[in-house]
Structure 1
């Protein structure tokens, strides 16, 4: 059995190919333009299979531009022809949509016919339903619905081509209509802005400027329908291989309509942004008089579109998207649900994966760093050595540095994860270098420094991010002195050994900046963190002394007293799951600001208050900390016990919210 896939390097296509690699046998031929062969090779490594074979071609050419000799050689060999290549963009013009969606589908049908393929699988969209009002089931297609945009029209026309031209060629067909497709439910992986993602820059701006508890007045934007890409890919793979289902369409949708505002509020909660309240949404109103319908009609006015482009458009929300925030149709997926019964494939609950989806966008798709002229001016072409770059703050910092035109130098123990980060950067057109190193091994650091000094034309920035955190009270540490030694070895000795090894290069070039990711604990001295806080305080003290010695050489230091960040380092402490934290992307933004602005310190308000309290009223400060010491118990791991449900959880959460960002 062999497969042919168009759009394999696209969003849904990548996940479908992975499903075929993991669960099916036979070669997988993928259409690929000559200019995308490099990108495809990187994807082949991720798919982990040499069964994926590129076929040169182009969606805009007749017969997809595939060599007739190749077609003749594979005549009758392709069992399943998946056509995913298309333009999924509400903002694209009519001509572009026509070429890519209508012309591309006609070329794909023609190629599949000449290959005498077994079944033609068309990935359509619920957009083919246009503005049909009411129930739209999987047997329905041409119901006289209005098609308000080039995207709606061309998705309808491309599906019509499949329904009319495939039978004329004796080619069995199946159609799949996904609703709005968001990232992977487990990883959040997404590669384009669509659906709710258009509103994410606005949510980020609200989070950064307003407190999360502030309610915002919204309007009823109707119902939407959102599904994660892993569901779409798994469902397509399963449905494509079921017997006796040719000539059917399948709705890959959430079985229940989702309120647009409630969907946005899920992401508001994930982002820590204020939420929207729509008190009037419960009042019965005729469909055509609902705010979503009125907004849609208003937005289609040319003058209104121009005004919106100069306002919300600058936040990344096109006027065309505002015109289609909700669906007028309710998509019946009964046929699909019956066909998937017993497979274990179902639409994941959006609430359970909203934070993952938001986090991926914030770390990978938020382009604000690259669009900031000030940041690009400071980082473009600069080599930035980042420790702990395989995950968390370090990894996201590397992605942001690359986005701004910098060259991240990735340092951590795990080479495989570093290579994954480099591949991500290269897929986006950037450059990165990988240097695996155990930063708790001082001799390994010396070898790393020799290699960096030899390989790099300059060392412009050093970000000391790698660290070890231990949460254990002193009474449980009396026979664990090695905890203090290991923490100091990585957080202090490893960090200063690296800087000392790179210092000669920075002195020769008469410039360089060192960013130390320290902790708010250095200012607030929370109990149970004596090993961790002491190591960070030592790094602060060392940097403060050395800074005065090298300032004449153009070398500067910044210490970031970072609040609690949602990273793998804090994952073992389950207590933190309900605590307010900042995201790795927010922390990475702070690191970028440290490189660009080069301040001596970056602190939080609460951290500064803690530092002042320890100076002005030390006895009171210690009493408050002792209270927290008794409210927050040692972790089960620290006590060598199985975790138990806490009896003082409400007190813990209250203190955590009052003293936001402190490590308890």
Structure 2
């Protein structure tokens, strides 16, 4: 109904037959009105949410359907980051304790004191959908909708045209996938542009002087959010164990001899999984395999030089012949080079070597194992990328370019494999304290993830199979670059000036380093890396996880 719906209105309702829930409510009230020969009272509450003091609720309805979206936004972006969203129509929410108190009071009033028999238990000052979402976003410490789009702008397409488009199978599939990703049932979107307001004058007269009233949403939204997140979040009732996710599956990890790869292998072993370990050195792989088996898993060792395409082909065929293929491939091996472009003019081989391992090596392994996954109609490819791909950090042009290439390949290949149930996940890994960053002395003062924390990101990826997994800072960097790339350039130029080239990048031996073991020597006396300034340390902690 469009307009104001009074408490004495009933037959004016229309289109209730299109919604089973509304139809049953409407017809049950009709039965009372037409067949009950005793005094009756009908209560029409708005969207009933949890207790205004405890947040307690035994069902999910109305705004709760959007809580998963707010949770995803909180995980992806900083709380202060402004985003756009719908303004929507008016929505009236009432806490369950208000409904109970109002019904209890009205039920005990004599008929002579009642202005009517039907009572709207609603908020007399309803919020728009956008205002309500912002109130819950604040309670959830999630980004708020700073720009809310008027519903009239969203509804420029005539209803008949929208209905026709939504009936197209492809459109319906895309729409349902978006709702699924956001955790919103399609039915919940029906009230986005609700155009009816509820007059509640009879209820207000009946409750006058009692102190029974709908409290402002911002006074109890935190309680609703906290109770939902602790007790009603659907993820609480979903088996998110790594043991279930990898049961009966073979997981191949490259770069498994140390750092992130080794810790991920041990985590798989602790969950009773089967892991195939790949890196250059058999002795180190044997040590990791022993840890995996002590933890309760099964480990297989397959040494290979992942910068040698022929050796990768040999190893891949060996794995297929001995194990029948791979269910989960984790491309974790990588080479990082920290050197400015100015110091790379005569070092083109840096770019060739980095691409050879980080892109061509990973790609060769994917191309060898992907056919079996598609044939079995099941597979998961996880590529360990870098936060640098999102933030475009200076001095890492070779490294970031190689990781970006693998990222682009995965985005292009993923749509081709949808029908074969093969998933691609890219993890934009922040800075991790592993042997790969050891040559850069200043990273000793940087805040970093531990290998255990990084391995947890990989384990979560095996469980949830997301398209991408990133830190909030990395995602913010991507968004900011899309909005104002020149601003990002200015910020990163400051970082470029604050964080100097290492002695290795300058082609000088470190103190205590034997001749021939450094990356490049120029005959100069051994030197130590420059110490970071106070400003540099502050920036490193402010932009935690970014490698400069």
Q: Summarize the alignment of residues 524-539 of structure 1 with structure 2, pairs less than 5 Å apart.
A: 524-539=391-406
CA contact (8 A) 1:458 1:509 kept: no
Cα gap change, 1:518 to 1:373, in 2 (>3 Å): closer
Tell me: higher relative CO, structure 1 or 2? Use CA pairs within 8 A at least 6 residues apart.
Answer: 2
Q: What is the distance in 2 between the residues matched to 1:587 and 1:373?
A: 18
Structure 1, residues 56-110: CA drift from partner, whole Å, max 9, x if none? Answer: xxxxxxxxxxxxxxxxxxxxxxxxxxxxxxxxxxxxxxxxxxxxxxxxxxxxxxx
Give the corresponding residue for 2:357.
Answer: 490
Unmatched 5+ residue regions in structure 1?
1-207, 209-371
What RMSD in Å do the two structures reach over aligned CA positions? Answer: 1.6
1:522 lines up with 2:406 in the alignment: no
Structure 1, residues 496-541: CA drift from partner, whole Å, max 9, x if none? Answer: 1001000111112110000000000000001000000000000000
Pairwise CA distance, 1:648: 4.3
Structure 1, residues 440-464: CA drift from partner, whole Å, max 9, x if none? Answer: 0001111111111111134110000
CA contact (8 A) 1:381 1:405 kept: no
Give the corresponding residue for 1:394.
Answer: 261
Give the corresponding residue for 2:470.
Answer: 603
Q: What is the distance in 1 between the residues matched to 2:267 and 2:532?
A: 40
Give the corresponding residue for 1:429.
Answer: 296
Aligned counterpart in structure 2 of residue 632 of structure 1, from 499, 511, 519 = 499
Q: Secondary structure at the match of 2:329?
A: strand
CA contact (8 A) 1:397 1:592 kept: yes
Pairwise CA distance, 1:652: 1.4
Q: Secondary structure at the match of 1:513?
A: strand
Q: What is the distance in 2 between the residues matched to 1:636 and 1:492?
A: 27
Give the corresponding residue for 1:619.
Answer: 486
CA contact (8 A) 2:255 2:332 kept: yes
Q: What is the distance in 1 between the residues matched to 2:262 and 2:250?
A: 15
Pairwise CA distance, 1:382: 1.3
Q: What is the distance in 2 between the residues matched to 1:395 and 1:567?
A: 11
Q: Secondary structure at the match of 1:432?
A: strand
Cα gap change, 1:460 to 1:648, in 2 (>3 Å): closer
1:555 lines up with 2:422 in the alignment: yes
Q: What is the distance in 2 between the residues matched to 1:540 and 1:373?
A: 26
Q: What is the distance in 2 between the residues matched to 1:477 and 1:581?
A: 27
Give the corresponding residue for 1:351.
Answer: none
Unmatched 5+ residue regions in structure 2?
1-74, 76-238, 509-525
1:644 lines up with 2:528 in the alignment: yes
Pairwise CA distance, 1:644: 3.3
Structure 1, residues 325-361: CA drift from partner, whole Å, max 9, x if none? Answer: xxxxxxxxxxxxxxxxxxxxxxxxxxxxxxxxxxxxx
CA contact (8 A) 2:252 2:326 kept: yes
1:413 lines up with 2:280 in the alignment: yes
Give the corresponding residue for 1:655.
Answer: 539
Q: Summarize the alignment of residues 290-329 of structure 1 with structure 2, pairs less than 5 Å apart.
A: none
Q: Summarize the alignment of residues 561-580 of structure 1 with structure 2, pairs less than 5 Å apart.
A: 561-580=428-447
Q: What is the distance in 2 between the residues matched to 1:414 and 1:646?
A: 33
CA contact (8 A) 1:461 1:512 kept: yes
Q: Secondary structure at the match of 1:528?
A: coil
Q: What is the distance in 2 between the residues matched to 1:643 and 1:507?
A: 53
Pairwise CA distance, 1:427: 2.7
Q: What is the distance in 1 between the residues matched to 2:500 and 2:240?
A: 47
TM-score (norm 2): 0.53
Q: Secondary structure at the match of 2:414?
A: helix
TM-score (norm 1): 0.44
Q: Secondary structure at the match of 1:522?
A: helix
Cα gap change, 1:428 to 1:546, in 2 (>3 Å): same
Q: What is the distance in 2 between the residues matched to 1:407 and 1:647?
A: 44
